[in-house]
Structure 1
Amino acid sequence: MSAAALLASLWGMGGGKPEALQQLRFSGESAQLPSTFQVGDVASASIAVQALMAAQLWQDRDGAEQKITVDRRHALAMFKSDRYLSVNGKPADDPWSKIAGYYQAGDGRWIQLHTNFPHHRDGVLAILQCADERTEVAKAIVGWKAAELEQVLADADMCASMIRTEQEWKAHPQAQAIADLPLFEVRRIGDGPVVPLNQGGGRTPLRPLSGVRVLDLSRVIAAPVGARTLAQHGADVLAISAAHLPNIMPLVMDTGRGKRSAQLDLRDAGGRQQLHELIGGADVFLQAYRPGSLSRLGYSAEELCALRPGLIHVSLSAYGHVGPWANRRGFDSLVQSASGIADAEGQAVCSAAPGKLPFQALDHATGYLLAYATMLALQKRAIEGGSWQVRVSLAQTGRWLQAMPRRGLHEDAAELRAEEIAGFLQTSNSGFGQIQTIAPVEKMSLTPARFELPAPVLGQHAAVWM
C-alpha cells in the first residue's frame, strides 16, 4: 500500500470526510529503508493523518481550509529522531545497556533482553546470577530454555521476549485476545459538557489546539511522541515525572520539546492531591503505565472522568488492554520480538539471528496514531459533549504493519544521506545546552507545526496550569 492509500484508510477509520484528503500531498524521494515491512509508508501516513486532523480542528474553529505537505524522507528521519540528536554539537550519549539485545538459549531458541533502566538490568542479572558483562550473560542464558526464562523474567516484572515466528504469535493467546480490536479506540465512557474548541472567550485561536491542556504521564518513546505532537499544534502539555523514576535522557530531550515538565511523587498524599487539582483543569489525561497500574492509585479512566466530566482519557500499552499479557511490561523492540517481526527481518537478511526494523516504527507510529485519536476525541467532545477514552497499543500497531503486503528488502530503499538530515534539523537552546533535533515533518500553510518551548530539564516547571 502507498502512503496515500494508508492515509485514506486511517482517515476512514476515524470517520473523516474523503474530500478532506485533497488538502494533503506527499513529496520527496523514495521513502523506504531496507526492510520487508512497509515502514516508510507507515511513517509518512501516520504523521500525515494527525496533521490532517489538526487542520480539521483548525477548520472547525476558524473556518479556513489549509494545505499540508508531508515529505517522505523527512518522515523517515523523524522516526529515527533520537539517533540524530546532538547536544552542544556532540552526539547524545548511547542510552542502550551493554547487555541489552538478543541471546541464544540452551534449546537453540532466541530471547531478547531489554535492560536500559537500571532496575531492569539489575533484576535480570539477579535472576541469571551473573556479572554485568555480555559474555557472562550469554553463558548464563545457555543454561535456560528460552520460553522458561521469558516466563521467569515476566513473573519478576522484568523486560524480555522470546523470538517467535509470525505463525507462533498468531496462535498465541495474547495475539488472539487482541485480534478483533481496532487499530485505535475512541469511545464515549461518560457524560460531560460540550466543550467548544474556541474556548478562549470567542477569540480567534492561534493554533489548532490552543487552549487545550494535556497531562502527560509517560516515558520513553511512543506516548511522549504523541504528547509532543499535541504540543506542536499548540496544546499546553505538562509532563509529570517523579525524581525516583528512571528516565533515558536523550529521549527526554527529543520528546520533551514543546512541553513543560513538573515532578510529583504519587506515592505521597501531597503529590496525589496536586495531581487531582491538575486533573480538574485538564482536557486530556495521557498515560502509558501498564493497564491497571494507575487504577490501583485511584486513577482509572472511569474515576478520572467522574472527577473531571468531559476529560479525554488516553492510554497506551505494549500488548493491549485485554489478554494474558495485558499487564506485561513491554517496549517496541520486545513487541517486534514476540510478534514475529524480528524473526521475519532476520530471515530477510539470511541471518540465523533475529533482525529488527530500521527504527522503532511501532513506537513512533503508535505515538502519532495516539495524537490523531486524541484529536478525534476532542472533536467529538466539541460536538456532542461527553467523557472519552482513547486506547492504543504497540501490538495493535504491529498487527497493522504485519497485515500489509511485504516488500523486497531493498525495494525502493535508500539510506538517509547526511545532507538530507541536515536539512531536517532544527536548533534550540535548552537547560541541557544547545540541542539539535529533527523538526516537525508536516508543512501546514496556516498553522505551521512548531515547538514554542525547548525541551525542559525534568522538574523545571511548577505543577500548575499556565
Structure 2
Amino acid sequence: MKNSNQLQQQALKAVTAHLPIDIDGSNVIVEDGLSYTRSPIKAHDYATGLFSAFGGAVEYLGRMRGLPAQTLTVNRRLSGLSLNSLQLTFSNGRALGFDDYTTGPDNGIYRTRDNRFFGMIGLHPKLRDGITEYLGATSREGLRRAISQRDAQDLEDSFAQRRLPGGMVRTPQEWLDHPQGRACAEHPMVLVDQLSKGGSRRLGNATVRPLEGVRVVELANVVAGPTTGRALAEQGAEVIKLACVGGPVTIGIWLDANWGKRQFRMNIKGPAGQAKLRELLAGADVLLNSMSPGRLTELGLGPEALQQINPNLILADFSFAPKNSPWFDRKGFEQIAQSVSGIVSVNSQDRYMDDPTHISVLINDFCSAYNLATGIVSALAAREEQGGFWYVEHSLLRNATEAVRYVRPMNDEQYAPVSIADLRRWAIDQDTPNGVFTRLTPPVTFSHTPSKAWRPTGLPFGGVEGLSWQDKPIGSDDPLATPHYPSRIVAEGRLHDFVECYGIEDRGDGGGDVSFFSAGLAVLSRDQGLEAI
C-alpha cells in the first residue's frame, strides 16, 4: 500500500489473513485526507485498509478472468465519508430525510442502577413496541427512570430473552474477558470455507467488468447486508434482491443501499415463492443472506439442501454474532455492537458529553459490508480454480472486536467537518425514473474498470413478474458507458438540507436522535461556526 500508514496496513492484513487468495495491497495507492470523525478510534484509517482489501480482491478476480492488472486508489477522507453514505444521498437536491428520522427515546444509552450504561435501539415498530412494553414506558423520562431501577447485566439478559436489541456498555478488556468477546477475537475476521468439491460452474473470461456474469440472490435488510450487494453490483454483478412482503423498510437506508439491483417483493415462505427462490438459486453464484439465524434452515435451505440445488453456490451469511458463538441467535444492530465491544467506551474518553456516546460513523455496518464482499469475491476466485460449494461468514460483532483496536490519542490530528467541498469533489448524479439522485462515488477507484451501478435505486413495489436471470443484463449493450456523472446538482448550488458536521451520533443521554445534529454535535458545530445549507 503506497503512502499508507501502519493502521491502514494493519486493517488490510486483518481482513485478508484467512482468505483463500493472496492480497498484499502492493497495487493500492492511498491518498491522505483529514478525518471528520473526532474519536480516539481511527475509523478513516480502518476503513481505508478494508476498502483496499475489497479492491484487491476484485482486481485479483478480474485478472484471473483476463482483464488487465489495475492500480487502485483509496482516499482516506472519502473512506470515512463512505461510512455515512446514507446521510449524503439526495433526491432532486433534497436530503432523503434520514437526518430528520427519529426512532424516539427507545434509541439511546441510559445510566443503570449499578452506575453502568445500557444501550438499546427500537429501529422498527415491532422492536420499539417490544422495548416500551417490557420497560413499561414510552417517554424519554419514563424509560430513563425504568432503566435506572435495573442493573445493566440484568437488562442485557432480559432483552436477549425477549429477542430485543440491547447491550451494556463495556470496556475493550471487559469484552475480551466475556465469553462472546473471546469467541469473536478467536474467530477469523472473514471466514471462507469450501464445504464440498465438484461441480462445473465457472465464470470464465470477462470482457469489461470484474464481476460480470456473477449472479447474486440477496435476502438481506437494513444496512450491512444490502450494502454488500451494492458493492458487488457496482463491479458488474447481477443482483436480485428479494424483499419480504410486509417487511419493515427504512426509506433513507433502503435507497442508499440498493443501487444496481433488480428488486422484487415475494413471499418466500409460500409454495410459489419457495419454487421461484429455488429456481433462482439453481442458476446463481452467490446467496447473500442476513436473515435471522436459522431462517434459511426453517425454509428448507440449509447448507446441505443448497448443495443439492446448486453444488457451486457460494453461501454468504451475515449476522450480529459469529456462527456457533454464545450470542449467535441474538438480535443486534450497529449501536449494540458498538456498546458491548468497547467502541462506545473508547470513543467517549475525553469527550464533550458527560455520558457515553457512539462513534459518529456507522463503523460496523459499512465496514462489515465490505468485509463480507471481500470474502465473497475471494471465494469466487477460489471457485474458479477449485470448483465446489463455498461458505463465507462475517458479523457485526467480529468487525467491532477488530475496529476497537485502531486507537490513537483523539487530539493527535486535525479534523475537518463534512462540507459542501467534499460533495463537490466526490458526489455523483444519476438520472432515474424518479428524478436525479446524488450520492457519493464508491470508495475504491479502479484504473481500468470504473465502479458503476446501471440500475437506479428504488423501492420494491412490484411483484415477481419477470423474475428470472437475464441473458443480457442492463448495460451490456454499451459496457464502456457510465450511467452517472459528476454532480451538477452540487456544482450549480441546487443542493438543500445539507448540514456541515462531524458525523452522525446516537446520543448518550438516551435522546434517541440518529442525526447530524445530536445534542453534543450541535454544540460542537455551533462552536465551530458551521451552518446548514
Aligned equivalent of 1:160: 166
Pick one of 5, 8, 14 that aligns with 1:3: 8
Mark the CA change 1:274 to 1:40 in structure 2 (over 3 Å): closer, same or farther: same
CA–CA distance in structure 1, aligned partners of residues 359 and 59 of structure 2: 31
SS of the residue aligned with 2:209?
coil
SS of the residue aligned with 2:418?
coil
The one-letter code of the counterpart of 1:14 is: L
Aligned equivalent of 2:115: 108
User: Where in structure 2 are there 5+ consecutive unaligned residues?
Assistant: 1-5, 471-533
Aligned counterparts, 1:154-303, within 5 A: 154-198=160-204, 204-303=206-305
- Shift in Å, 1:339: 1.2
Aligned equivalent of 2:47: 43
Which moved further from structure 2: 346-355 or 305-314?
Answer: 346-355
CA–CA distance in structure 2, aligned partners of residues 165 and 267 of structure 1: 41
Which moved further from structure 2: 115-124 or 299-308?
Answer: 299-308
Aligned equivalent of 1:83: 87
CA–CA distance in structure 1, aligned partners of residues 386 and 370 of structure 2: 24
The one-letter code of the counterpart of 1:65 is: A
8 Å Cα contact 1:239-1:259 kept in structure 2: yes
Mark the CA change 1:288 to 1:348 in structure 2 (over 3 Å): closer, same or farther: farther
The one-letter code of the counterpart of 2:78 is: H
8 Å Cα contact 1:214-1:238 kept in structure 2: yes
Percentage of identical aligned residues: 26
Superposed CA offset, 1:298-341 (max 9, x none) = 12223212211100000011121122211000111101101121
Return the TM-score normalized by structure 1: 0.93
CA RMSD of aligned residues (A): 2.0
8 Å Cα contact 1:7-1:48 kept in structure 2: yes
8 Å Cα contact 2:338-2:358 kept in structure 1: yes
8 Å Cα contact 2:117-2:169 kept in structure 1: yes
Mark the CA change 1:459 to 1:381 in structure 2 (over 3 Å): closer, same or farther: farther
Pick one of 131, 140, 143 that aligns with 2:146: 140
SS of the residue aligned with 1:135?
helix
- Shift in Å, 1:407: 0.7
Aligned equivalent of 2:127: 120
CA–CA distance in structure 2, aligned partners of residues 174 and 82 of structure 1: 30
Superposed CA offset, 1:213-257 (max 9, x none) = 001111111111111110000000111111211021111100101
1:57 aligns with 2:77: no
Superposed CA offset, 1:161-219 (max 9, x none) = 11122222112121123332110010001233243322xxx6x5221010000011111
Aligned equivalent of 2:78: 74
1:376 aligns with 2:359: no
Which moved further from structure 2: 412-421 or 66-75?
Answer: 412-421
CA–CA distance in structure 2, aligned partners of residues 178 and 12 of structure 1: 15
CA–CA distance in structure 2, aligned partners of residues 215 and 104 of structure 1: 42
User: Where in structure 1 are there 5+ consecutive unaligned residues?
Assistant: none
The one-letter code of the counterpart of 1:163 is: V
Which moved further from structure 2: 440-449 or 416-425?
Answer: 416-425
Aligned equivalent of 1:21: 25
Number of residues paired by the alignment?
459
CA–CA distance in structure 1, aligned partners of residues 379 and 136 of structure 2: 48
Pick one of 324, 327, 331 that aligns with 2:326: 324
SS of the residue aligned with 1:361?
coil
- Shift in Å, 1:453: 1.0
Return the TM-score normalized by structure 2: 0.82
Aligned equivalent of 1:407: 408
